[in-house]
Structure 1
């Protein structure tokens, strides 16, 4: 076996035990209240859908398909954030529905009303310049963060770490982003006045989907959700400290949204794709970096907590010291799977992934104080035997490969993101 895992004992922020296996949502009064609110939002959004479906059926179908496809990678990334203690799909779906149906329907009317107030209290000129930056974020961020609060009310035991708040906040933001983008696309079709034409849909998809999607509502929702997660989980801190942290996170989401919608740098930094790309990065990069740092810190604390649970087993058939180390980060888990594929093929890659999932489930059961661990232990041992048959008995990171692979992956991902943004900007005439 390889070297002992690196323990980060200096991190003392608590992570609560994994949520209960049975959600019992149907027995929770708050669930029915939330379901009713989502249903009302769905009815309101259906009126808009029916109106567009009757006039622009092809454009609506195209917009729905394009933005639904865009949601798939976002959903996958958000789901993978909390690898060790995964969130129930039912709650993820409720969060997504809140963002797409409740927050969107509230924001359509609420933002317009607040924009009118800004014009009356301030001036029409102020509303024209700053209405979108002040009215939209104010209504939308409050409506979205209430979705995370709704998850807390119906399933408090599922909020075990700040990372859980990030996941649910991001999922609310994703639902909002997808549905709002479809509405904007259909608005662009109507404004173009060329009938059932898909060209405005494609343009909206490139602008609001690919250009803005990286640092838009999913990101703002994640930031606000982190604050709600902190408020719920950090019982070791004073209530006013937790409330202050939650308010600061929501304020940060609002400020990031204001910056993104603001008329600042409206005229850009010059002409061409480089100038437009620079504006996008200047506005979008600060919140992106902030949420990345929050996710990294929350993930590390959660990883320390759950791997410490597994370390108490002292059974190398269930988990080895090197596998404990590999389980700590997404990059090292991916490196262990890649190492298995290089040595024993794709079946070994899949077997290591299944082993990692089984070990994570076992860690959650340990955190719950489950006395009979035999079902989960049996699952882990079964995955171990599958790996042994493939000639790769341990899901480990090869010596000296972890940090290099992480750096290379980050560089490649950054380069790919810049290339995609460049291509989109150029296709829209920015070059």
Structure 2
């Protein structure tokens, strides 16, 4: 029996039918509601950008360019989180647009209104100290979480793991973070009162984009998205448990945001660059570590499921037992590509990556029982033949090479990031 007929007998993945494109999508009321909200938010943000561009054209162009460049590495990291089952580009763009157009449009006036309410019900002193910590997170986290809910409503089949919720939540947060930072940068230009100068833009970019970006809205959105993903996909759990986990995740995103915006430790560690760096790490590291644990757990669960699908094939030409273990781990996949590069050159590295991508896609199609399985079997074999011609027939690496290299790379990257952060803070006058 050949591999392709055996693929058709595989167990389907535990996902429900969804709406991707076409007439079925057009008939969804939720689709048109999302489109209307995106158009409304787009018009509003275009008006804001237009007013700034008319008064500060150079500063506006600089702000958009700098933060657009900042979005690129974040986008690449977020989309790479779910290597085994990558999300459709259209939905990633929609999530990003929701964060940048809808959530910001709601949050800018909503946060200001809630801040005024805190001042009236509490005191102006309370609003001055804690307004940004209470008003902003409350409005912003709700509006961003609704973006993940919107993805679920119009494309349920594309949210079939907790990791999918993480990816969409992070993308919503990224869109919000980039657009909000552009608005803040241009507001800083207007507040400086020196005309069309780029210095306030660069300062805002370093503070809000470079220094705060890794701990900010992308991270909070990912945490809330994990909760929505759990609510949607864990049908094996009671409804109350799923709802409780989702609410706890959104509350965790809100609490992380409150901690980040709070005045805690504002004066307690001094005014030097090292003190400011310590505050950034103290406030930002806990949610970062939490989302890393969640991503690892969700990735491992998803990897085990898809590995089981591939293991049923029993065809070493499609995937060997050693490659199966490599495919389940991001660090092992990277190590396998590195080993191919050192042993057989750049072409081998590219072929290993394409082979891994084809194997992952084959696993997804196998789990869904789709008729497009033969295409990915053919692609796997094609990349296998390329590797064989290059003298590197299997996408694995010798035991023991990967962890040491990964550890050294992590230590170096961490040390470099701390050095750059410290230098940036000192440049901004913190030292």
**TM-score scaled to structure 2, two decimals?**
0.94
Q: Which digits, 9 at most, give the CA deviation of each residue in 1:316-356, with x for residues without a partner?
A: 11001111111111111110000000001111110100000
Which whole-Å CA distance do the structure 2 matches of 1:26 and 1:239 have between them?
Answer: 30
Partner of 1:16: 14
> C-alpha displacement at 1:268, in angstroms?
4.5
Residue pair 2:20, 2:155 contacting (<8 A) in 1 also = no
> C-alpha displacement at 1:136, in angstroms?
0.2
> C-alpha displacement at 1:417, in angstroms?
2.1
Q: Which digits, 9 at most, give the CA deviation of each residue in 1:17-39, with x for residues without a partner?
A: 59879544445332221111111
Q: Which digits, 9 at most, give the CA deviation of each residue in 1:114-157, with x for residues without a partner?
A: 00100000011111110000000000000000000000000000
Please state if 1:254 is matched with 2:254.
Answer: yes
Counting matched residue pairs gives 418
Please state if 1:350 is matched with 2:350.
Answer: yes
Note the aligned Cα RMSD (angstroms): 1.6
Residue pair 1:172, 1:221 contacting (<8 A) in 2 also = yes
Which whole-Å CA distance do the structure 1 matches of 2:99 and 2:372 have between them?
Answer: 39
Which whole-Å CA distance do the structure 2 matches of 1:415 and 1:426 have between them?
Answer: 17
Which whole-Å CA distance do the structure 2 matches of 1:420 and 1:20 have between them?
Answer: 45
Residue pair 1:15, 1:233 contacting (<8 A) in 2 also = no
Residue pair 1:228, 1:246 contacting (<8 A) in 2 also = yes
Which whole-Å CA distance do the structure 2 matches of 1:295 and 1:264 have between them?
Answer: 28
Partner of 1:33: 33
Please state if 1:78 is matched with 2:78.
Answer: yes
Change (3 A) 1:29 1:240: same
Q: Which digits, 9 at most, give the CA deviation of each residue in 1:177-209, with x for residues without a partner?
A: 000000000000000000000000000000000
Which whole-Å CA distance do the structure 2 matches of 1:105 and 1:341 have between them?
Answer: 47
Partner of 1:158: 158
Change (3 A) 1:254 1:15: farther
Partner of 1:274: 274
> C-alpha displacement at 1:370, in angstroms?
2.9
Partner of 1:194: 194
SS at match of 2:403: helix
Change (3 A) 1:311 1:245: same
Change (3 A) 1:21 1:358: farther
Which whole-Å CA distance do the structure 1 matches of 2:117 and 2:94 have between them?
Answer: 32
Partner of 1:208: 208
Change (3 A) 1:387 1:214: same
Partner of 2:235: 235
Which whole-Å CA distance do the structure 1 matches of 2:251 and 2:297 have between them?
Answer: 20
> C-alpha displacement at 1:361, in angstroms?
0.5
SS at match of 1:393: coil
Partner of 1:141: 141
> C-alpha displacement at 1:216, in angstroms?
0.1
Q: Which digits, 9 at most, give the CA deviation of each residue in 1:27-62, with x for residues without a partner?
A: 533222111111101111111111101000000000
Q: Which digits, 9 at most, give the CA deviation of each residue in 1:243-288, with x for residues without a partner?
A: 0000000000000000000011111412321111101111111101
Please state if 1:396 is matched with 2:393.
Answer: no
Moved more, 340-349 or 389-398: 389-398
Which whole-Å CA distance do the structure 2 matches of 1:21 and 1:368 have between them?
Answer: 15
Q: Which digits, 9 at most, give the CA deviation of each residue in 1:184-239, with x for residues without a partner?
A: 00000000000000000000000000110010000000000000000000001111
> C-alpha displacement at 1:15, in angstroms?
7.5
Partner of 1:374: 374
Which whole-Å CA distance do the structure 1 matches of 2:92 and 2:61 have between them?
Answer: 25
Unpaired runs of at least 5, structure 1: 1-13
Partner of 1:290: 290
Residue pair 1:132, 1:262 contacting (<8 A) in 2 also = yes
**TM-score scaled to structure 1, two decimals?**
0.94
Change (3 A) 1:348 1:268: farther
Residue pair 2:130, 2:262 contacting (<8 A) in 1 also = yes
Residue pair 1:23, 1:155 contacting (<8 A) in 2 also = no
SS at match of 2:265: coil
Please state if 1:89 is matched with 2:86.
Answer: no
Residue pair 1:85, 1:360 contacting (<8 A) in 2 also = yes
Q: What aligned pairs does 1:398-413 form with structure 2 within 5 A after superposition?
A: 398-413=398-413
SS at match of 1:427: helix
Unpaired runs of at least 5, structure 2: 1-11
SS at match of 1:84: coil
Partner of 1:43: 43
Which whole-Å CA distance do the structure 1 matches of 2:291 and 2:13 have between them?
Answer: 19
Residue pair 1:100, 1:177 contacting (<8 A) in 2 also = yes
